[in-house]
Amino acid sequence: MAIRSFVALSIPQSMANALGDCAARMAYQDKSNAVRWVDQANYHLTLAFLGDQSEQDLESLADQLDQHVQNSEFEMCVQHLSPFPESRPKLIAAMIKRDPALLELHQQVISSIISANLKVEKRRFIPHITLGRFRHSRNHFAGGIPGTVDACGEVTELSIFESTLTPSGAEYDALYRFPFAQYEFDEV
């Protein structure tokens, strides 16, 4: 059976709370119901969409991620909020700062996907967290999108998620988790 899946970072709770509060304020202004807002529990940052994969392929990828991902916890911060992509917006997103640790992690994930003999998505990596999706291609969100929000947090793990599409929206379940090493400092 094929499993619709992706590799992603769970969002730190403090960051999810700040983004959820911001999304709730925007949803209150969304009088025309132009946006389908993502439940705060589903916030994540996708590093690679895998599409439909077999259990065996996901297990192989999990083995590769376990071998190749060499990350320590790192801080992730929102750069700004905006419609995304700029040319033909489909989402309201929290755009994430392109931190070197995040970009290195993305490369490690891509290398793991290649090593597992899975197909790599060709899209350019633009780190973002989806807060809402426009219901129609001609978006008419009359509410204002605040340009900035103070939201940062420590990223502590990477996961392979299963995505199940339902009439009320997608549901995500972590199939595999890969905790990052914590920095430890010796006292001098």
Instruction: Label residue 63 by pLDDT band (50, 70, 90).
Output: very high
Q: Angle 55-68/100-115 helices, nearest 10 degrees?
A: 130
User: Which residue shows structure tokens 């992706």?
Assistant: 6
pLDDT tens, residue by residue, 161-175: 999 988 878 899 999
What pLDDT shows up at residue 59? 97
Running DSSP on this structure, what letter comes out for residue 109? Answer: H
Domains, the chain, ranges and CATH? 3-179 (3.90.1140.10)
Average pLDDT, the chain: 90
What pLDDT shows up at residue 60? 97
C-beta separation of 130 from 36 below 8 A? no
pLDDT tens, residue by residue, 25-41: 999 988 888 899 999 99
Q: Which of 90, 151, 175 is nearest to 126 (CA)?
A: 90
Average pLDDT over residues 84-112: 93
Tokens of 36: 């389908």
pLDDT tens, residue by residue, 121-136: 888 999 999 999 998 7
Higher-confidence residue of 37 and 144: namely 37
Q: Residue 56: is it exposed, middle or buried by C-beta count within 10 angstroms (0-12/13-18/19+)? A: exposed
Element containing residue 143 per DSSP (H, E): none
Instruction: Write the DSSP assignment of 35-66 as a string of letters.
Output: EEEPPGGG-EEEEEEEEEE-HHHHHHHHHHHH
